[in-house]
Amino acid sequence: MPSLPWLIGLAAAAAAAAGNVNVADYPLRVHLFQVTQRSHYYRGQLDFVDGEGRANLFENSEARGFDYSFRCGQRLMTSPGFETYLARWKKPGREVEILLPVMGKPNSANSCALKVEMKNSAYFRHNGALEEQPVAAYKEWMQKHQYDPEHGRNEPVNLTSASNTTTGSGPQ
């Protein structure tokens, strides 16, 4: 598995090549766990996509869960494994903007605003189910496994089967 997830790499390359997005303006990371979405078409072309889901925001070296809704120009994909999207606050505490690579168009990225309801917990997968855990417990897991995607540590280390991370779940 690459040390830098393909979403970040593609988004960063796209932003750098396009010249219209400064990657440094997107210091946060978002891991999308769930996405439910509806595609809307106009004259046979995708017009917009709206939906909702659940995710974690990585900020200040800790993860906080949030529920979100969105209306964007392209579909969202959940984050496989430990991959994350580049992100920034658009309206602190209320709206997060993420960078989305445009599939089939190298060196291209779009942004999508997520309206958020922040939680006092972080999401993680356990035996295929999405569960919540206190932010402090998730942060302890992040420190133990040197995982901090906000600061370039995109893959946890020293994972064992006991930590049940085969699904990209994280803490237990």
- What is residue 170's predicted lDDT score, i.e. its pLDDT? 63
Residue 155 lies in a domain: yes
Report the distance separating Cα 48 and Cα 120, nearest Å: 31
Confidence of residue 91 (pLDDT cuts 50, 70, 90): very high
Residue 171 lies in a domain: no
> Residue 76: which domain range?
6-163
**How confident is the model over 42-48, as a mean pLDDT?**
96
Residue 168 lies in a domain: no
Confidence of residue 165 (pLDDT cuts 50, 70, 90): very low
Residue 1 lies in a domain: no
Residue 150 lies in a domain: yes
Residue 12 lies in a domain: yes
Q: How many domains does the chain have?
A: 1
Higher pLDDT, 30 or 107: 30
Rounded to a whole number of angstroms, the distance between the first and last alpha carbons of the chain is 22
